[in-house]
Structure 1
Amino acid sequence: MTQTETKELQFRGGVMGALMPLLVLVSGLIYLSVMERAGTKPFWACAWVAMGVGLFLCRNRSAYCESLLRGMGNQTATAIIALWLLAGVFGKLMTAGGLIEGLQWVGASLGATGGGFVLLAFVICMVFSLGTGTSVGTVIGLGPVLYPAGVMLGADPTVLAVALLSGAAFGDNLSPVSDTTIVSSLTQGAQVADVIRTRLPLSLSAAGICVVIFLFFGGSDEALREVSRLSQGDISGLIMLLPLILVVALALKRRHIVEAMFFGNLAAMICGWLTGAITFGDIFSLPAERGVSTGLIENGIASVTGAVLFALMVLALTQVMLDAGLMRRLLDKANESLIKTRTGAETGIVAVTIAASIPLSANAPALLLVGPGLVRKLAEKFGIAPERSANLMDCAVCTVFFLLPWHIAVAVWQQVIAASAAETGVAAPSAMASFFTPYPWAMLVVLAISIYWRSRNQNDQDLRTEHGAAAGHSSDAVPASPVKPV
């Protein structure tokens, strides 16, 4: 049975009953975050309880269970799992090959310490995510390397961590191979190339605000005092940049990101072997006793299992939200009661897209929920160009989405940063750090300015039209007699 043929799930308590699983999940995640116990593994229990609450509240439990399974087995889930498994191994190989030491050497040689390294890390993540189109892959692939190296070079742990997430969000927002770019363009009937061209000023403006923040607040005085005592790194570790370049190059050639990551894994093994940093036994070997790791491949996969399991449970709950029809009803109500003008329509597109992204674990489904019907109808009704409505949607879905800890990209980011800090013995950021990620906030500011500026230009144009019409009618002129059409 397809999703279009599936009847909407009915819950005891109506709308509040349908909302209860989400409220339970969010409450648990916020509690763990406030108590400094956030992470994908602690989040398992919250998701499990939320699924159980929904089961007891749903009037048709069989349909509810089918909805959960459909969410766990959809294409988004399988693609995320495949990518994470390869990216987890990739991160372990890059670290074992000495890329951290290589980046330390670059930072020490160029003086890129503190805020300078934070800015460098932000740019690297921007380029990587722009080429791959995946925020999750960027965090998993680069986080284990850039985070510890940056802290060792005097970067503020919290600012560095949110710089990595900001760079990942930039690519998700702008990349031509990003699922959000593709979905936002197709649902509005716009060409991807036109959407990218017109979105570029918005994305670069938000990135520019981030650059200022990272330069001014990226350095830690305490950490900077420790830089001189640390190892100056090893230039040979820079050879591990070649696998990274290979992954980006393959992604830019429109090769599948899973294929790109697999060949990146192989390249990382070869580069590590050439420098002597990695042996075949490090990659895979028969352990001396049962229960001991077989090598870097196992360690890499194990490092992402927590995120994978949490993602499956959240995607299952996301499917329940969609099958309950809750978001559709809320968004339709907002459309009927709030949107009256073109400026209101643009503001409404941003607002409903953000609202749809809050409960959903992935941002592309949020665009699919509001794009084809609500947003496109608003754009057509108020004369908003398809490229403009696509840009408003895509930029909006890359704001609040990258702040909240129950979203997949943020949950994985928390897991990667915490694991990297624990493995290398460096300081970890606060569990609430995601709320201070600059790129989403900067994009909200940019969107507000853009909508205001367009509204002002539209008003000026209307004024000029009125003045032009009035100029043809002076007080002394004799009004023309009305002529009936023939």
Structure 2
Amino acid sequence: MEKKKPSGLALIPFLVFVAFYLISGIVLQMNGVEMAFYQIPSPISITLGIVVAFVMFKGTIDEKVNSFVSGCGDENIIIMCIIYLLAGAFAAVCKKIGAVDSVVNLFLTYIPVKFITAGVFIISVFLSTASGSSVGTILALGPIAFELSVKGDLNSALMLGALVGGAMAGDNLSLISDTTIAATRTQNVQNKDKFLMNFKIAIPAILLIFITYLIAARPTSDVPLDIGTYNFLKIIPYLFVIIASLSGVNVFVVLMSGTIIASIIGGFYGAFDGLISLAQTIYEGFTSMTEIFLLSMLTGGLAHMVRQAGGIDWLILKIKKMIKGSRSVELAVASLVSLINLSVANNTVSIIIAGPIAKDLSNEYKVDPRKMASLLDIFSCIIQGIIPYGAQLLIASGFSDGKVSPVEIVPFAWYCFALAIFALLSTFLKFSNAKNEWDFENDRPMELASNK
């Protein structure tokens, strides 16, 4: 397929994907199906858009196949997919050895009962940051959080809101979450650089909400805590991944080394019945990432076809008409990823779709791609944490046995709203900007280019 002139019609395959996802979710929701928006696997929805692209775009079948495969095999897409697999393996091994339980029990052991809501918030921040999974964090802490709210005579929606907010905070900050991987790969920046920029925006929001929970969310009665045991050695893999990532170690090395460390610790404590059991656990981690792996690859292929047909260029032209400087570029990207996330209820998918557009705008208007990666991740996580049809709120609500609806949790996802405020402020006050400028000619931080 030869690259065509900008054309809004070329976006139709993407619109078909979004429309099918939305309509199917709404219909299933109206029929009382649980987790309605997640019943049809997203790779199936994107496949429908791919079929439409093959039917409507001009060119021979061979040309369309070559264009699609070129997008699927893009270097950044492949790197992203491999990192997904490694992150899945690391998470699976850590869960198998009891690292998640150790983290939870360690925090609960030392958190005063009267500060339990703030404690749940901080536990979820750490666990999600370390594991890279907001959904996994909610699944691990959800039953505990709801039980604590009942025993402490607390507003259950408030407690679950603290859990969801903390989980989204960790998802956004994590160096190994799928959102971080997608944001950094689409902008061609290092995980560490994106984290440092995110940190300046997220930490004020985390501290503000933590203090708010300390003051305004104390239980009215003593909460009897049934705390299990913890083993600090089992937490070491998480600490290693965080420290090594911040030290600038290659993400492939970090995740493989983290998995090896977790495997050795698990073997010492008898978590695996030999090497076969370990291998099966690692493979389970791989397969747990199958959906996001396929979705990323298929979306990359479709995005390349749409770009070749002029769809992306048309969208960029329309966005440019609203842009008057770097500040409006940042606001446009934040709005774009937010709107996509509202439509598809998946923060990683939103970043994968919006990422290439953000990169083009970054290059043209000389906006630091590290800030673009940060905004993509931040606003996708904000929206994901407050949409009542998103997986995070649906799962959290499910632990209440029908007593708390996802809609009731939304007003108490305080962290998401605080993060939005600080993120918007960062576009005006520039307090999150990196000290070193970006070298757009070589597409890397200026200090690296000058030291070459």
TM-score category of the 2 structures, normalised to the smaller one: 0.5 to 0.7
Matches within 5 A, 1:295-306: 295-306=280-291
Task: Tell me the distance in 1 between the aligned counterparts of 2:352 and 2:428.
Answer: 26
Shift of 1:233: 0.8
- After superposition, the C-alpha distances for 1:47-105 in whole angstroms (9 at most, x for unaligned) are 22222222222223634333332232223332333233333232232223223432343
Q: 1:118 and 1:317, CA in 2 relative to 1: closer, same or farther beyond 3 A?
A: farther
Query: If the length of structure 1 is used for normalisation, what is the TM-score?
Result: 0.63
Shift of 1:434: 11
Task: Tell me the distance in 2 between the aligned counterparts of 1:430 and 1:61.
Answer: 50
Matches within 5 A, 1:218-257: 228=224, 231-236=226-231, 238-257=232-251
Cross-structure match for 1:167 = 170
Cross-structure match for 1:313 = 298
Which of 258, 267, 272 lines up with 1:273 in the alignment?
267
SS at match of 2:123: helix
- Give the superposed CA RMSD: 4.9
Cross-structure match for 2:4 = 8
- After superposition, the C-alpha distances for 1:373-430 in whole angstroms (9 at most, x for unaligned) are x455546xxxxxx6xx55753443234323567xxxx9xx949x96x999xx997997
Q: Establish whether residue 99 from structure 1 lines up as the match of residue 99 from structure 2.
A: yes
Letter matched to residue 173 of structure 2: F
SS at match of 1:313: helix
Task: Tell me the distance in 2 between the aligned counterparts of 1:68 and 1:375.
Answer: 25
Q: 1:203 and 1:302, CA in 2 relative to 1: closer, same or farther beyond 3 A?
A: closer
Cross-structure match for 2:59 = 60
Q: Establish whether residue 401 from structure 1 lines up as the match of residue 380 from structure 2.
A: yes
Cross-structure match for 2:74 = 74
Q: 1:82 and 1:145, CA in 2 relative to 1: closer, same or farther beyond 3 A?
A: farther
Shift of 1:46: 1.8
SS at match of 1:14: helix
Contact 2:108 2:119 in 1 (8 A): no
Q: 1:182 and 1:56, CA in 2 relative to 1: closer, same or farther beyond 3 A?
A: closer
Which of 351, 354, 359 lines up with 2:332 in the alignment?
351
Task: Tell me the distance in 2 between the aligned counterparts of 1:38 and 1:430.
Answer: 16
Contact 1:55 1:61 in 2 (8 A): no
Task: Tell me the distance in 2 between the aligned counterparts of 1:307 and 1:103.
Answer: 26
Letter matched to residue 351 of structure 1: A
- After superposition, the C-alpha distances for 1:149-177 in whole angstroms (9 at most, x for unaligned) are 6566658456424422222213469xxx9
Query: If the length of structure 2 is used for normalisation, what is the TM-score?
Result: 0.67
Cross-structure match for 2:445 = none
For the pair shown, the structure with the greater C-alpha radius of gyration is: 1
Letter matched to residue 91 of structure 1: A
Q: Please identify, of 137-146 and 113-122, the stretch whose mean Cα deviation from structure 2 is larger.
A: 137-146
- After superposition, the C-alpha distances for 1:89-131 in whole angstroms (9 at most, x for unaligned) are 32232223223432343244223675233322344157548xx
Q: 1:309 and 1:200, CA in 2 relative to 1: closer, same or farther beyond 3 A?
A: closer
Aligned length: 400
Q: Establish whether residue 27 from structure 1 lines up as the match of residue 22 from structure 2.
A: yes
Contact 2:72 2:301 in 1 (8 A): yes
Which of 442, 445, 449 lines up with 2:418 in the alignment?
442
Letter matched to residue 265 of structure 1: T
Q: 1:281 and 1:142, CA in 2 relative to 1: closer, same or farther beyond 3 A?
A: farther
Cross-structure match for 2:121 = 119
Q: 1:83 and 1:215, CA in 2 relative to 1: closer, same or farther beyond 3 A?
A: farther
Q: 1:265 and 1:122, CA in 2 relative to 1: closer, same or farther beyond 3 A?
A: same
Q: 1:318 and 1:43, CA in 2 relative to 1: closer, same or farther beyond 3 A?
A: same
